[in-house]
Structure 1
Amino acid sequence: MNNKEVLQIALQQSAYDCNCEPQDFMVVENRFFESVDTNQARRYLQLPHICNMVSYGSNIVVTAQKELLSEIRQYIKNVPNIENCFETPGLYPLNDRLKKFGAEICFMAEYFLPDMEDIFRLEYSCNYELTILKPKDFVNLYLPEWENALCAKRKNLDVLAVGAYDKGKLVGLAGCSADCDTMWQIGVDVLPEYRRQRIATVLTNRLAKEILQRGKVPFYCAAWSNIKSVRNAIRSGFRPGWVEMTAKKIEYVQDMIESS
């Protein structure tokens, strides 16, 4: 598998998620599609979307409720550049439009894809033993300290992990979930007292290789403000692939704020 093939697989998955075609992300013109539910989308997505905006850098693809499409189209028409649609102050008028439909901007994230040369060129090591873990091995690891590596709400999707052990003690864990048929998402955690030793990078890179050897494409997601996570992605051999911004119902957003 090479970088072009990796990108094509990601584009196809985004097309499933957005009810469009892969080439829609590569044209200059922005594209708009009604959001629909489909069993080909990433399994954790709650479809249909109220509004979801995706960019691979060439344009913006919007998938939204039918009654919102004209509002979003008008918003994007008045914003000069792609990046302005994903940052303040440009987001304020978008949020005002969404509120008329009982929604607000909720999630904003950057997604990373493996650079196939770097992933296999990088040879990191750490002072701890690495162990490949299958679902039966991490059934008892759904604990707060590993909540980024494993997802208790979607245990059925967690398929593979790599653990770092210090004399039998688990000190770092990278896990991946089979979020769709072709792509597995990586998450990683390291105990606070073991950080700044590049354990996360070693685990992420090793797990990415294991995923690729199984014929799947690893991908990595981070909030733009999570500098530590973004640095880990890049050190591990990943590069920026696409960005997404998702709106949710106002009640959903408020519940998140209150429970944080």
Structure 2
Amino acid sequence: MEKSFIDMTIKTYLAEQFFCKVAELEKEQNFFTINSRSELPYIKIMTYNKCVVICTSEALHLKVKEALTDKNRDEIFEFPFIYGQTIHFIPDVKKVQRLPLPKDYSYELLKGSDIQKLKYIKGFDNSLSFDDNAHTRADIIFLAKKDNEIIGVAGASAETNSLWEVGVDVKPEYRRGGIGAALVANLTVDIMELGVVPFYSASVTNIGSQIVASRSGYMPGWVDTYGNTLDGSSVYNDLIKNLVL
């Protein structure tokens, strides 16, 4: 897969998500955009290359623009109404390759409807989870078993037809043995062979997950914020309301 195809796929996705133009993502500049679909107060900030995009709901647009105009990238990401930062990793075409699979386990690749046979599985929320109707967003998974017990899963679900997000879970007692990186690396190659661009996401606080990304042939692509304190999504929402009142 060509690097140019990966880059254009990512930029097209980001432009749609942050209501900006693809060309703007190549500039060293801050952009203020409006999420016209949001009914709740909305602030989401993203940096890609040297640009920063500050996307808000329409009602907040002018106030946020006034507050953040002329601020640098670090100051923008310190805006007090946002929380959480996620690093999104993209394949490094010079490094992506299949990694040797540890010999102590057996492995299985499942696609599409075949994934349904795992509909009662628990504890793999980053890679494979089912709702109350036994529906999952996962399009492909690669799993490891030890004595018939599933101990690790790498899975991917479609963000768009050409872009899938990869996640991985390994049971605690089997970590630090390279199984997570091996699952992700091999699944990544499988996805790219389908003509689809994979990406991998990790919280800025999750060093272990970032190490898995690096060992699996990924490199940082962009960073965005997780949520904002105005729409009630924060786990500290009650505390925020009490402080404000």
**Normalising by the residue count of structure 1, what TM-score does the alignment of the two structures yield?**
0.81
SS of the aligned residue for 2:123 comes to helix
Aligned to 1:219: 199
Structure 2 stretches of 5 or more lacking a match?
240-245
CA distance in 1, matches of 2:121, 2:10: 30
Q: Which moved more, 1:64-73 or 1:14-23?
A: 64-73
Asked if 1:70 corresponds to 2:48, the answer is no
2:48 to 52, 56, 72: 56
Question: Which residue type is aligned with residue 196 of structure 1?
Answer: R
Report the Cα offset of residue 248 of structure 1: 5.1
Name 1:146's counterpart in structure 2. Answer: 124
Between 62-71 and 158-167, report the one with greater CA deviation. 62-71
Q: Does the 8 A contact of 2:36 with 2:58 survive in 1? A: no
**Deviation sequence 1:136-186 (CA, Å, 0-9, x none):** 443234544211111334944211000112232211110111122211111
Q: Provide the rounded CA distance (Å) in 2 between the counterparts of 1:29 and 1:222.
A: 25
The structure with the largest strand share of the pair is 2
Provide the C-alpha distance between the structure 2 equivalents of 1:108 and 1:117, rounded to a whole number of angstroms: 27
Q: What is the aligned residue count?
A: 234
Q: Which amino acid aligns with 1:117?
A: K
Distance 2:215 2:22 in 1: 28
Indicate the residue corresponding to 2:88 in structure 1.
111
| 1:15 counterpart residue number | 15
1:232 pairs with 2:212: yes
**Structure 1 counterpart of 2:68, one-letter code:** I
Q: Is the counterpart of residue 82 in structure 1 residue 63 in structure 2?
A: no
Task: Tell me the alpha carbon deviations over residues 72-95 of structure 1, each in whole angstroms, 9 at most, x when there is no partner.
Answer: 22333353x313322xxxx2xx32
Distance 1:211 1:146 in 2: 20
Under a length normalisation based on structure 2, what TM-score does the superposition of the two structures give? 0.86
Work out the CA distance in 2 between the residues paired with 1:65 and 1:119.
Answer: 38
Asked if residue 190 in structure 1 is aligned to residue 155 in structure 2, the reply is no
The structural deviation recorded for 1:123 is 3.0
Q: SS of the counterpart of 1:149? A: coil
Alpha-carbon contact 1:35-1:49 (below 8 Å) kept: no
What one-letter code is carried by the residue in structure 1 that aligns with 2:106? E
The residue type equivalent to 1:149 in the other structure is: S
- Equivalent residues of 2:87, 2:222 under 8 A apart: yes
Q: Is the 8 A contact 1:48 1:64 kept in 2?
A: no
The share of aligned pairs that are identical, in percent, is: 25
Partners of 2:14 and 2:40 in 1: CA distance: 14
Q: CA RMSD in A?
A: 2.4
Structure 1 gap segments, 5+ residues each: 38-45, 96-103
- Aligned CA distance change for structure 1 residues 48 and 217 (closer, same or farther; 3 Å): farther
> Going by fraction, where is helix more abundant, 1 or 2?
1
1:251–1:145 CA distance, 2 compared to 1 (3 A): same
- Identify if the C-alpha distance between structure 1 residues 169 and 156 changes in structure 2 by more than 3 Å, giving closer, same or farther: closer
Say if 1:35 and 1:47, in contact at 8 Å, map to a contact too: no
1:113, CA displacement in angstroms?
0.3
